[in-house]
Amino acid sequence: MYVQWKRLQRTGSRRLQESRVPLYESTQQFRVYCSNVIPGLLQTEAYATALFALISRAQGTPDDSAEAAAARVARSKVIHKGEHRFALLVEESVLRYRIGDAETMAGQLGYLLTVMSLPSVSLGVIPFAASRSMWTLETFMIFDQEQVQVELLTAAVNIRAPGEVEQYAQAFTDLGELAVYGRQARALITSAIDAL
């Protein structure tokens, strides 16, 4: 299903964040790939506030950035409870794109270093220098093996067709093979902090 962001965010972004709580609570395995921003599940409140302000300005929707950010952070508490598993991949460029000021970015990148130590979280970073066997894609999230949400500039696309879900799962696997993890991922995050 294709739904325009303007429609989803016509009263702001807070309600959209809150509406997804049941999906997040019922999902056991999250697979998330982001090529443009820090994944929502890992965003700090300051980073999310800055991002939502940009989104509302670009989309021409009501600016409820602080409320939407608080709702996103509350929704992300799922990382710390239950039997959920999180595999997240970001392009190295995501670590360098400045959303908010330097303090906001330093806090966000520092939080990545903290959250990647959780046993339920696997965070991979695809380095600039990776020899590409898979091109950069749009942000997508796979919820168990049931649904994929793809984020386009103008709309969210929700995919449930098993064959298409499987294609995204394969793309996630292929992208994951390009990523570095653990100590190497920490080094890339630390380098991005130092560059601030």
Identify the sign of the CA torsion 87, 38, 165, 161: positive
Closest by Cα among 128, 124, 123, 134 to 171 = 134
The pLDDT value recorded for residue 26 is: 95
Write the burial class of residue 142 (CB in 10 Å: 0-12 exposed, 13-18 middle, 19+ buried). buried
- Model's pTM, two decimal places? 0.94
pLDDT > 80? residue 144: yes
Contact call for residues 146 and 165 (beta carbons, < 8 A): yes
Residue 5 pLDDT level (bands cut at 50, 70, 90): confident
Check which CATH number belongs to the domain holding 134 and give it.
3.30.870.10
Give the domain range for residue 99.
2-195
Tell me the percentage of the chain whose pLDDT exceeds 70. Answer: 100
Q: How many domains does the chain have?
A: 1
Residue 77 pLDDT > 90: yes
Average pLDDT, the chain: 94
Evaluate if residue 62 carries a pLDDT over 90: no
So what's the pLDDT on residue 36?
96
Query: Which of 2-6, 23-27, 121-125 is predicted with the least confidence, judged by mean pLDDT?
Result: 2-6
